Amino acid sequence: MADKEPQQPKELPIVLVHRLPSYKIPLDPSFRDQLRSQFHMLDPHESPEPYDSFLARHAPFIRVLMTIGYSPISAEFLERLPVLELIVATSAGLNHIDLPCWSRGIVVTNASLAFAEDVADCAVGLLIDVLRRISAADRFVRGRLWPVKENYPLGFKLGDKRVGIVGLGSIGSEVAKRLLAFGCTIAYTSRNKKQSVSFPFYANVRDLAANSDVLVLCCALTKETYHMINKDVMVALGKDGVIINVGRGSLINEKELVQCLVGGEMGGAGLDVYENEPNVPKELFGLDNVVLSPHCAVMTPESFEALDQLIVVNLKAFFSNKPLVSVVSNE
Amino acid sequence: MADKEPQQPKELPIVLVHRLPSYKIPLDPSFRDQLRSQFHMLDPHESPEPYDSFLARHAPFIRVLMTIGYSPISAEFLERLPVLELIVATSAGLNHIDLPCWSRGIVVTNASLAFAEDVADCAVGLLIDVLRRISAADRFVRGRLWPVKENYPLGFKLGDKRVGIVGLGSIGSEVAKRLLAFGCTIAYTSRNKKQSVSFPFYANVRDLAANSDVLVLCCALTKETYHMINKDVMVALGKDGVIINVGRGSLINEKELVQCLVGGEMGGAGLDVYENEPNVPKELFGLDNVVLSPHCAVMTPESFEALDQLIVVNLKAFFSNKPLVSVVSNE
């Protein structure tokens, strides 16, 4: 892949920084310095030159693009980068990237490895919170209701719950590992049955739901998974069923989810992601069996530090012709 | 111990039910029927006879007492039961019982075995909630702040946290098992070093705190553990330190805890129990690094079912002269 090794400071390998103009670069200053000491970071929004001419002038030399957050990458944009070989994404989900780029042989790395543990912690936290009503309990205490009402409603035990994991990648596997320690049983669905795990596999999410008390959504949002959790799946999950979503909002038909929750056709939900962020359906605000967090499952300093390291490892690997560590498969 | 076997329905073994008059019996009706089919359940508060004369009349035959919830058992009360051999407690903590009764040879069973998993789940839920700010995130979303403020503050990763467990009994052991799956490291203090576990042991809680990021309190409240978590321990735990309390409120000097939290001398706290329940220090209500639940760590139907079974198993074991299953050691 790499046709020359990085040698001199003045010949640092070029990396195009792709971001929405409105995005402040969420990179730690010391990490930015670290990147700049090893790579020639081209950021069109930092140049006085008009964006289009800046891009056209550098495009023939841009083999690597680092995309910040959820800055969209369209097919049209990719056509302007004829020699692009690698996209380094700083997110776990890639639904902002035109993935048919794979057909051109462009390789994509993502941040799932850096984020998996924190996202899994958040998923488990949301699940305990919904089943044991912790956020609602906190609201009860702060609302000074304890001395008045005395008895707080019973929650539900985590142990023995049948948890169906939708997408058993790096995040889903971390969720499974944690929930086993609580005595949950695990099953999963994913694009393909995984030979390396012994959990029961269901070929479709409806069958998984029919055999689960809880669904945890950790899969990528693609054309195939858009609205995969619809009313049919929720009904199959049942009246006490709980859905945890740490994937993407549009994995769920949010309108049907709200109907099922408001109508008591589901047991509860723990949601970190929504269809129209930062807007959250206000019908959910009155429900005690719902826990709502603002797309913050990856939000720890440790996650971002791991991400920084992952980015550098992948960039260095690419330019020294070594294996990348977090390539997203297009299967 | 038992000098006769239960034989005839009319000769059912006698069990005194001890409860505060204000306590509604929190037993499931079908469980009460089950108990009454196997034991002669004597409840002074169900008799028209005055309490004292009822108790005096039956006392010579009362070898077993079942105490409901936190109904206090004083030394004076125990003196009125000269042939008492067994107290079956329906709680995990026994601080409402005059434990010098042990010196008379009275055996006490508690509910820790039935409650351990649910209490541990709650402890872990509170810890994730504090570190990852889940209840505060839920408040942020419901308060419609997400579209206004955009960025929610970073939380803290669970993995690699050094967790010190105070009291490694059935509850503490379940907490440890769960937190290992999150990548935490475990150490503990308890009355004695346990030969059966390999976690590092600290002889006192201050040393444990000095070597921990998180303390989880799961020990009994006794004269020795009253206010064991004082300002000195909190300072040793450090500015980012977190305390989770699923034991009893008075394990902590609550006044000093409030001072440390309000003054930023601690990282946060997840509290299910308080010194003066149902009153919770109102200084905590404005803090986002604190999660407050209303003494509900055992509150699941599954816990109560397990408790019912544990009570029956212990009562049947006693009257058939077999080993009890949840005897509390007085060491």
Assign 3-state DSSP to chain B and report helix, strand, coil percentages, each to 5: 40, 15, 45
Is position A40 annotated as part of the catalytic site? Answer: no
| DSSP class per residue in B138-151 | HHHHHTT-HHHH-P
Q: Label each residue of chain A as H, E or C.
A: CCCCCCCCHHHCCEEEEECCCCCCCCCCHHHHHHHHHHCEEECHHHCCCCHHHHHHHHHHHCCEEEECCCCCECHHHHHCCCCCCEEEECCCCCCCECHHHHHHCCEEECCHHHHHHHHHHHHHHHHHHHHHCHHHHHHHHHCCCHHHHCCCCCCCCCCCCEEEEECCCHHHHHHHHHHHCCCCEEEEECCCCCCCCCCCECCCHHHHHHCCCEEEECCCCCCCCCCCECHHHHHHHCCCCEEEECCCHHHECHHHHHHHHHCCCCCEEEECCCCECCECCHHHHHCCCEEECCCCCCCCHHHHHHHHHHHHHHHHHHHCCCCCCCECCCC
Residues of A whose CB is below 8 A from B292: 137-138, 141-142
Residues B197-210: tens digit of each pLDDT: 999 999 999 999 99
**Interchain contact B129–A (C-beta under 8 A):** yes
For residues B300 and A154, the answer to whether their CB atoms sit within 8 Å is yes
The two structure tokens encoding residue B244: 């989770």
| DSSP class per residue in B44-81 | GGGSSS-HHHHHHHHGGG--EEEE-TT--B-HHHHHT-
Separation CA B329–CA B20 (nearest Å): 26
Cα→Cα distances B212→A39, B220, B235, Å: 39, 21, 12
Q: Is the pLDDT of residue B8 over 70?
A: no
Is position A132 annotated as part of the catalytic site? Answer: no
Provide the edge-to-edge strand list for the sheet that holds B214-217.
B185-189, B162-166, B214-217, B242-245, B268-271, B290-292
Residues B157-184: tens digit of each pLDDT: 999 999 999 999 999 999 999 999 999 9
- Spans in chain A with pLDDT lower than 70: 1-10, 24-27, 330-331
Q: Is the pLDDT of residue B26 over 60?
A: no
Separation CA A187–CA A118 (nearest Å): 21
Cα→Cα distances B35→A106, B25, B38, B92, Å: 70, 13, 5, 20
Residue carrying structure tokens 């959910």: A284
Provide the edge-to-edge strand list for the sheet that holds A185-189.
A185-189, A162-166, A214-217, A242-245, A268-271, A290-292
Phi, then psi, of A226 in degrees rounded to 5: -55, 125
Complex ipTM value = 0.90
Residues of B whose CB is below 8 A from A177: 181
Alpha carbon of B48: minimum distance to chain A alpha carbons (Å): 28
Residue carrying structure tokens 């070029």: A14
Separation CA A172–CA A218 (nearest Å): 6
Cβ <8 Å between B147 and A279: yes
Residues B85-104: tens digit of each pLDDT: 999 999 888 888 887 777 78
Contacts (Cβ under 8 Å, ≥6 apart) of A293: A122, A126, A270, A271, A272, B134, B137, B138, B141, B152
The radius of gyration computed from the CA coordinates of chain B, to the nearest angstrom, equals 22
Task: Check residue A11 and give its pLDDT.
Answer: 86
Separation CA B86–CA B65 (nearest Å): 6
For residues B318 and B311, the answer to whether their CB atoms sit within 8 Å is no
For chain B positions 186-245, those within 8 Å of chain A (CB to CB) are none
Alpha carbon of B145: minimum distance to chain A alpha carbons (Å): 9
Alpha carbon of B204: minimum distance to chain A alpha carbons (Å): 28
For chain B positions 265-284, those within 8 Å of chain A (CB to CB) are 277-280
The radius of gyration computed from the CA coordinates of chain A, to the nearest angstrom, equals 22
Separation CA A188–CA A167 (nearest Å): 7
Cβ <8 Å between A159 and B117: yes
**Interchain contact B110–A (C-beta under 8 A):** no
The two structure tokens encoding residue A15: 């990396």
Q: For residue B49, how many other CB atoms are within 10 A of its CB?
A: 11
Catalytic-role residue among B5, B49, B79, B277: B277
The two structure tokens encoding residue B169: 């009994």
Residues of B whose CB is below 8 A from A300: 132, 154-157
The two structure tokens encoding residue B214: 């998180």
Cβ <8 Å between B128 and A121: yes
Mean pLDDT, residues B64-80: 91
Task: Check residue A1 and give its pLDDT.
Answer: 45
Separation CA A116–CA A197 (nearest Å): 18
Separation CA B229–CA A328 (nearest Å): 48
Separation CA A235–CA A209 (nearest Å): 9
Catalytic-role residue among A63, A248, A254, A256: A248
Alpha carbon of A295: minimum distance to chain B alpha carbons (Å): 9
Instruction: Give chain A's domains with CATH numbers.
Output: 9-111+300-319 (3.40.50.720), 116-292 (3.40.50.720)
Residues of B whose CB is below 8 A from A296: 132-133, 137, 152, 155
Top residue of A157, A180, A273, A298 to mutate, by most chain B CBs within 10 Å, is A157
**Interchain contact B23–A (C-beta under 8 A):** no
Task: Check residue A26 and give its pLDDT.
Answer: 56
Q: Is the pLDDT of residue B188 over 90?
A: yes
DSSP-derived secondary structure letter, B82: T
Task: Check residue A23 and give its pLDDT.
Answer: 73
Separation CA A216–CA B34 (nearest Å): 39
Cβ <8 Å between A152 and B294: yes
Instruction: Report the length, in residues, of chain A.
Output: 331
Separation CA B308–CA B329 (nearest Å): 21
- Identify the closest residue of chain B to A273 by CA–CA distance: B141
Cβ <8 Å between A302 and B159: yes
Cα→Cα distances B255→A129, B230, B260, B282, Å: 28, 9, 9, 11
Of A134, A277, A302, the CB nearest to B135: A134
| DSSP class per residue in B241-253 | -EEEE-S-GGGB-
The closest alpha carbon to B300, from A178, A241, A149, A130, belongs to A130
Contacts (Cβ under 8 Å, ≥6 apart) of A204: A189
Helix (H) or strand (E) holding B215: strand B214-217
Is position A227 annotated as part of the catalytic site? Answer: no
The two structure tokens encoding residue A283: 């019908």
Task: Check residue B25 and give its pLDDT.
Answer: 58
Per DSSP bridges, beta strands A268-271 and B268-271 are: unpaired
**Interchain contact A294–B (C-beta under 8 A):** yes
Cβ <8 Å between A278 and B152: no
Separation CA B87–CA B102 (nearest Å): 10
